[in-house]
Copies of this chain bind each other. A is one copy, B any other.
Amino acid sequence: MQDILKVGIAGLGTVGASVVRLMAKRDNLLSEAAGRRIKVVAVSARSRDKDRGIVLDGMRWVEDPIALATDSGIDVFVELIGGAGDPAKQAVEAALGAGKAVVTANKALLATHGTALARRAEKKGVALNFEAAVAGGIPVIKTLREGLVGNAIERVYGILNGTCNYILSRMADEGISFEDCLKDAQRLGYAEADPTFDVDGFDTAHKLALLTSLAFGTLVDTKGISIEGIRSIKPVDLKMADELGYRVKLLGVALRTADGVEQRVHPTFVPKDSAIAQVNGVLNAVAIDADAVDLTLVGPGAGGDATASAVIADIADIARGHRTAPFIRPVASLTQPTRAPLTHHEGGYYIRLEVVDRPGTAARIASRMAQNKISLESIVQRRSGPVRGGTDPAAADAPAPVVLITYATTEAAVQRALRSMDTDGVLLGRPQVIRIERS
């Protein structure tokens, strides 16, 4: 049996505490599985006095995370500080510079500086593992790096943010508004006081950027991602989705197209009978379409223990002497992705229009769609109020939602059709446009 693998952990929040606790609990199995003992020998965190419900006996306390990163007593530096900036960035750079293997759960750091950090790791011949950075406890990085290495990947997409999925699931189940649902999620601890990062899609985008790079061998490119969050989703959209055979999920989607790599984060209609449509609440899911295999992985995307499970797997791989390049290929082989413009996006669409309710409106809408060569799978018109007798002239211009489901078309065609309708004066308010993702 080889020497003990000595681990230093910076950051003892929920995840860090779970890592310490679970590693102690699984000590023997970890040793047997890795062929050597693994021991947390030093930790660093902001407050030394906080009660975290874990035993830190036998671990050195190091005040400065950067000092811990280069500490000669550790082999592996585990970064659980978080954030794209310092001290996390500086600590990871220092650890790699000192030839330490690094394990991190920090998606913001990797989405921003992933390529540069991978280059450092490669130069020193050390591991940079980040299973916990995407979809928490789901081993999707390992699946892409190792499990599907014989595949050419065509698409990777998923529910990558538990907060959004919780909100959309509850809105659908209970018919409540986004605002009410968000308040409740905040009260229950499923959403942050400042929810922007989650509900506006940025967290999903960070994770998507990493998946894209792994799937397509491209440099990490967050700037190439089109991002829409879930604030605009109304209960009526979820109700219509249900009636039409869909559910609404915030997806991150990366797709290889003839024009390049399409990366997008947006609310999406997914067919009710798809595996991903069944993923409710705070769960995450990742689907991978490849030439040999289509896979769907479902599991917890956050939480101390689930995230710690991924961190521990990364540490165990290092203990075994396993090392895969951070983004599968050497950094020099990663290509600058050609960004497929979203206007070229092809797919079906859900379009909800508030329209003036007067003769000829439906015909006008249908003809604008036809002019742009958009075929309709279904068109649903609902009166928002009670059925009228037709005698009240004031009601003639009251808004009535019209819902369209299109067959596959292009984003550009949809935008042109909607601009024409706007010019025609038949639209009231902004159209709701939600892309449909085939499963």
Q: Which of B298, B317, B324 contacts A298 (CB 8 A)?
A: B298
CB atoms of A296 and B297 under 8 A apart: yes
CB atoms of B300 and A299 under 8 A apart: no
CB atoms of B306 and A26 under 8 A apart: no
Q: For residue A300, which residues in chain B have a CB less than 8 angstroms away from its CB?
A: 293-294
**Distance in Å from the Cβ of A250 to the closest Cβ of chain B?**
18
Which of A3-11, A137-145, A367-375, A397-405 faces chain B?
A: A137-145
Known A-B contacts A273-B278, A292-B305; the reply to A149 vs B324 at CB < 8 A is no
Contact with B along A291-326 (1 / 0, CB 8 A): 111111111100001101111110011001111110
Q: For residue A199, which residues in chain B have a CB less than 8 angstroms away from its CB?
A: none
Q: For residue A22, which residues in chain B have a CB less than 8 angstroms away from its CB?
A: 150, 291-292
The closest CB in chain B to the CB of A309 belongs to: B292
Q: For residue A147, which residues in chain B have a CB less than 8 angstroms away from its CB?
A: 131, 139, 142-143, 310, 313
CB atoms of A149 and B275 under 8 A apart: no
The closest CB in chain B to the CB of A22 belongs to: B150
Say yes or no for A23: interface residue by CB 8 A criterion: yes
Known A-B contacts A150-B309, A313-B147; the reply to A324 vs B320 at CB < 8 A is yes
Q: For residue A32, which residues in chain B have a CB less than 8 angstroms away from its CB?
A: 325, 328-330, 333
Copies assembled = 2
A299 to B138, CA, bound (A): 15
CB atoms of A292 and B275 under 8 A apart: no
Q: For residue A299, which residues in chain B have a CB less than 8 angstroms away from its CB?
A: 293-296
Say yes or no for A29: interface residue by CB 8 A criterion: yes
Say yes or no for A378: interface residue by CB 8 A criterion: no
Known A-B contacts A138-B295, A308-B292; the reply to A316 vs B33 at CB < 8 A is no
Within 8 A of B (CB), among A137-161: 137-139, 142-143, 145-152
CB atoms of A292 and B333 under 8 A apart: no
Q: For residue A306, which residues in chain B have a CB less than 8 angstroms away from its CB?
A: 292-293
The closest CB in chain B to the CB of A329 belongs to: B32
The closest CB in chain B to the CB of A139 belongs to: B147
Q: For residue A18, which residues in chain B have a CB less than 8 angstroms away from its CB?
A: 292
Q: Which of B142, B148, B297, B321 contacts A146 (CB 8 A)?
A: B142
Say yes or no for A217: interface residue by CB 8 A criterion: yes
Contact with B along A1-21 (1 / 0, CB 8 A): 000000000000000001000
Q: For residue A313, which residues in chain B have a CB less than 8 angstroms away from its CB?
A: 146-150
CB atoms of A292 and B149 under 8 A apart: no
CB atoms of A324 and B33 under 8 A apart: yes
CB atoms of B137 and A292 under 8 A apart: yes
Say yes or no for A279: interface residue by CB 8 A criterion: yes
CB atoms of B148 and A293 under 8 A apart: no
A83 to B321, CA, bound (A): 34
CB atoms of A329 and B33 under 8 A apart: yes
Q: For residue A29, which residues in chain B have a CB less than 8 angstroms away from its CB?
A: 149, 152, 217, 328-329
The closest CB in chain B to the CB of A136 belongs to: B293
A300 to B320, CA, bound (A): 30
The closest CB in chain B to the CB of A306 belongs to: B293
A147 to B34, CA, bound (A): 12
Say yes or no for A30: interface residue by CB 8 A criterion: yes
Q: Which of B149, B273, B316 contacts A150 (CB 8 A)?
A: B316
Q: For residue A317, which residues in chain B have a CB less than 8 angstroms away from its CB?
A: 146
CB atoms of B305 and A293 under 8 A apart: yes
**Distance in Å from the Cβ of A277 to the closest Cβ of chain B?**
8
Q: For residue A330, which residues in chain B have a CB less than 8 angstroms away from its CB?
A: 32
CB atoms of A150 and B278 under 8 A apart: no
The closest CB in chain B to the CB of A143 belongs to: B139
Q: For residue A149, which residues in chain B have a CB less than 8 angstroms away from its CB?
A: 26, 29-30, 33-34, 312-313, 316
CB atoms of A293 and B320 under 8 A apart: no
Known A-B contacts A143-B139, A278-B275; the reply to A322 vs B322 at CB < 8 A is yes
The closest CB in chain B to the CB of A300 belongs to: B293
Within 8 A of B (CB), among A194-235: 217
The 8 listed contacts between A and B (C-beta, < 8 Å) are A33-B145, A33-B324, A33-B328, A142-B146, A142-B147, A143-B147, A275-B278, A296-B299
List the 9 closest A-B pairs by CB distance, nearest first: A150-B312, A139-B147, A137-B293, A292-B305, A292-B309, A295-B299, A32-B329, A296-B298, A322-B322
